[in-house]
Amino acid sequence: MPELAFKSATELASMIQAKEISALELLEHYLGRVERYNPALNAIIVLDPDRARDQARAADAALAKGEVWGPLHGVPMTIKESYNVAGLPTTNGRPEMKDNIAEADALAVERLKAAGVVLFGKTNVPLNLADFQSYNEAYGTTNSPWDLKRIPGGSSGGSAAALAAGLCGFESGSDIGGSIRNPSHYSGVFGHKPTWGLIPPRGHALPGYLVQPDLSVVGPLARGAADLEAGVLAMAGPDELDGVGLKLDLPRPRHTTLGGYKVAAWTNEASAPVNQDVQDRVAKVAKTISDAGGTVDFDARPDFEPAAAHDIFHTLLWSAMAARTPDADFAEMLKAASELASDDQSPGAKMLRTQTITHHDHYTAHNKRMFLRWAWDAFFKEYDVLIAPIMATPAFEHDHGPMGKRTIMIDGAERPYFEQLFWAGLAVCCYLPSTVIPTGPNADGLPIGIQIIGRQYGDLETIGLAKLLEAEGYAFTPPPGYAD
């Protein structure tokens, strides 16, 4: 049995409901661990213990009267800094936003509280939620609990590090370019990027932004696959505007055993190579499925050119990211783009042009995306899921140099830093759900995760396969050195 701090959220909720431990006792346990372990990690950067204690006492009082608030009753959780929580700052890592105190909870926060969580803090992010690492001038650098010299991922890096180190019971992050999934991979936890629009993101934004951005989603991270399902079902469903005519009705998994699955496996791609360790883990998961009687095809792909699809994703991603840029900063980007030489095809120049494209060009890319979405739809009529890498390597050492000059080493070869966005973009570009499962540490003691991509609104299907694989040993492993 795992130590108390490393149990899954659903296990913790069951313990509270069975009165094996009170919500307040569990909260104090995690707060003690935060005091002990967080200084070296810097994962949790805002604490709200007094209100959390009040909420935990209320949870215990409700339970004493036979009331269960929801599936996560009394579970202490932290949440990514970019969610609005009434009375706490939301900065997205921007120092000038330090006085931006949220007046109301994000809708997802409201729904998680209704499911019973006890929210006691917020976790670190990179500047503007725009990096595979999690550091900023407002809150500093977050380190991996597996190796303090290495990254925990980003932009939900604080979320994943807090979970992996056993500093909280549950977490929720956001993902536009792998920001739930790459921290899950780097830190050895479970994560789920939902179908776009499934979980309304209202309140996951800086002041003045209300529209749901293209590509971006919010979703859970956890130490168990069942926790992902509980989190998705707690947060999902139309908001008040759409709920007049829409209701949530997600399909359940089509198979109850691994032997029923027909799976495509994508282990590597020439334009976005991954190291041998990561390739081997995709193959290992595939073998687990085939050994159980399932069908695995290593050659099956959706009917599109990977490089062309990635170009479409890049166009949509960088323009979506630029849309949340403050007006003054965007004006400078427009000016810089207008001054580019016509023959400047450097990566920085290409990105700047994409960040400042016209609505016509964005619509053109969106139209191309629709062809990709239909290709995926046809693919998932033949295959249940696709399994693939999410990042090119295990966690690398901190690198705070200029983004345009960063590289990563892949089996001895130097590759562009952002090239590995290819793997995140497979699901993001076409609004698909993707669940990351841990596959255990490698020979260097660093965790590796792989992603399970499914059909649109097949969120419970990808999580369902994750649950079956978890039962086969693809489960959370605590990092060494964080005993209770």
Identify any residues that bridge with 385 across adjacent strands, giving them in sequence order: 263
Q: Two tokens at 354? A: 């994409």
Tens digit of pLDDT for each residue in 196-214?
A: 999 999 999 989 999 999 9
Whether residue 372 contacts residue 312, with contact meaning beta carbons closer than 8 Å, is answered with yes
pLDDT at 184 over 80: yes
pLDDT at 326 over 90: no
For residues 359-364, average pLDDT: 96
Rounded CA gap, 179 and 162, in Å? 15
Q: Just give the CATH number of 4-261.
A: 3.90.1300.10
H or E element in which residue 279 lies: helix 276-291
Domain spans of the chain, in order of start: 4-261
Please tell me whether the overall predicted TM-score, pTM, comes out greater than 0.75 for this model. Answer: yes
Rounded CA gap, 182 and 186, in Å? 6
Tens digit of pLDDT for each residue in 242-298?
A: 999 999 999 999 999 999 999 999 999 999 999 999 999 999 999 999 999 999 999
Ramachandran angles phi, psi of 140, nearest 5°: 90, -160
| Torsion angle defined by CA atoms of residues 198, 199, 205 and 208, in that order, rounded to the nearest 10 degrees | 70
| pLDDT on residue 348 | 84
Rounded CA gap, 325 and 316, in Å? 15
For residues 127-133, average pLDDT: 97
Question: What is the total residue count of the chain?
Answer: 484
Q: What is the mean pLDDT of the chain?
A: 97
Q: Where do the DSSP E strands lie in 160-226?
A: 171-175, 190-193, 217-222
Rounded CA gap, 35 and 207, in Å? 31
4 SS3 class:
helix
For residues 392-399, average pLDDT: 98
H or E element in which residue 422 lies: helix 421-428
* Cα–Cα nearest to 423, from 384, 463, 461, 451: 451
| pLDDT on residue 382 | 98
Tens digit of pLDDT for each residue in 285-309?
A: 999 999 999 999 999 999 999 999 9
Ramachandran angles phi, psi of 45, nearest 5°: -115, -5
For residues 105-123, average pLDDT: 98
| pLDDT on residue 404 | 83
Tens digit of pLDDT for each residue in 17-44?
A: 999 999 999 999 999 999 999 999 999 9
- For the packed helices 225-235 and 9-17, what is the interaxial angle rounded to 10 degrees? 80
| pLDDT on residue 141 | 98
pLDDT at 2 over 80: no
pLDDT at 1 over 60: no
pLDDT at 362 over 50: yes
| pLDDT on residue 347 | 79
pLDDT at 444 over 70: yes
